Amino acid sequence: MKHLAKSLFTILIFGTYDASLKAETPQLNYLRYCQGCHGDAGQGSARNSVPELKEAITKFLVHPEGRDYLVQVADVSQSPIVDQELADLLNWMIRRFGTKEIQEKFAPYKASEISEPRLNRPANTRELRKKLTGKSIHSTMSD
Ligand code: HEC
């Protein structure tokens, strides 16, 4: 009985994912490469110093350098997808988790805007983050 319940649960969960993901590649890439740390609602994990994406998007997109920073964070720039897919993923993420105001003002990333910052990451992205926000990654967790 326990086994049957487990199987039904698996079918239900994966059946649902399957149906909704086929049409949406950025969503599938988010699930594969980001959700494990950032969560299904982009909520992050304070315990593990993973920032909430809504706050990150709002904070960084107001700076021209912040637009590049979102591409340069290690987990983003090193994700195993090509520039166009990464642009699509960031655009999806901003539409999904960004505030209404950001969504109205934001010009979607083009693939051509991804390659340069992706290849030329600053040696220390955490320092760049601190410069842009005045805060280190760990201090934001308790704010
Ligand atoms: C292994 C866990 C992990 C995975 C997987 C991961 N991230 Fe992150 N992410 C982090 C951590 C931790 C930070 C904080 C920055 C740092 O540590 O340099 C971060 C920072 C970010 C930031 C900048 C937020 C800020 O406040 O500095 C964005 C945007 C982001 N991640 C998006 C993504 C996307 C998109 C993916 C998938 C392609 C992804 N992350 C995958 C852990 C992860």
Nearest to 74 by CA among 110, 139, 126, 35: 126
More confident of the two residues 18 and 65: 65
% of the chain residues with pLDDT over 90: 48
Taking CA atoms, 137 is separated from 46, 65, 67, in Å, by 10, 17, 17
Taking CA atoms, 83 is separated from 70, 72, 78, in Å, by 13, 12, 11
Pocket test for ligand 1, best of 38, 54, 118, 125 (most atoms within 8 A of CB): 38
Determine the pLDDT at residue 97: 92
Residue 50 DSSP class:
B
Q: Which helix (H) or strand (E) holds 86?
A: helix 83-97
| Phi, psi at 46, each rounded to 5° | -60, -40
Is residue 129 in contact with ligand 1, taking CB distance under 6 Å?
yes
Burial label, 81 (beta-carbon count in 10 A; 0-12, 13-18, 19+)? middle
pLDDT digits (tens, 9 = 90+) for 83-131: 999 999 999 999 999 888 888 888 999 999 999 999 999 999 888 888 8
pLDDT at 13 over 60: no
pLDDT digits (tens, 9 = 90+) for 48-66: 889 899 877 888 888 888 9
pLDDT digits (tens, 9 = 90+) for 67-94: 999 999 989 999 999 999 999 999 999 9
Domains plus CATH for the chain?
Answer: 25-141 (1.10.760.10)
What is this structure's pTM?
Answer: 0.82
Pocket test for ligand 1, best of 48, 62, 75 (most atoms within 8 A of CB): 75
CA torsion through residues 26, 133, 73, 107, sign:
positive
Determine the pLDDT at residue 30: 96
More confident of the two residues 134 and 74: 74
